[in-house]
Amino acid sequence: MTEMTIASRFDFGDVVLVPFPFTDQSGTKKRPAVVVSIVDFNSSRRDIVIMAITSQMRATLGYGEAMVDGW
């Protein structure tokens, strides 16, 4: 896992540590996320697109959620 810094270069599929806010916005906690944007996108701007990772399974996936098998 890589901790995100301004000078970091990220590729699709990289797992990074990012500060995610608590639901009540009282603070943050570093949590893993996976980079889902492609290298061309990442190298041409200062933003990347990430998706949160969790081991907590729900019976039904919500909008924008995806299950990753065999990781």
User: Average pLDDT, stretch 50-58?
Assistant: 84
34 DSSP β-pair partners: 15, 51
Q: What confidence tier does 30 reach under pLDDT thresholds 50, 70, 90?
A: very high
Confidence at residue 55, expressed as pLDDT on a 0 to 100 scale: 81
Residue whose structure tokens are 């919500």: 62
Q: What confidence tier does 71 reach under pLDDT thresholds 50, 70, 90?
A: low
What's the N-to-C CA distance of the chain in angstroms? Answer: 14
DSSP state of 30: E
Q: Does the pLDDT value for residue 7 go beyond 70? A: no
Question: Is 7 or 29 the better-scoring residue by pLDDT?
Answer: 29
CB 52 within 8 A of CB 33: yes
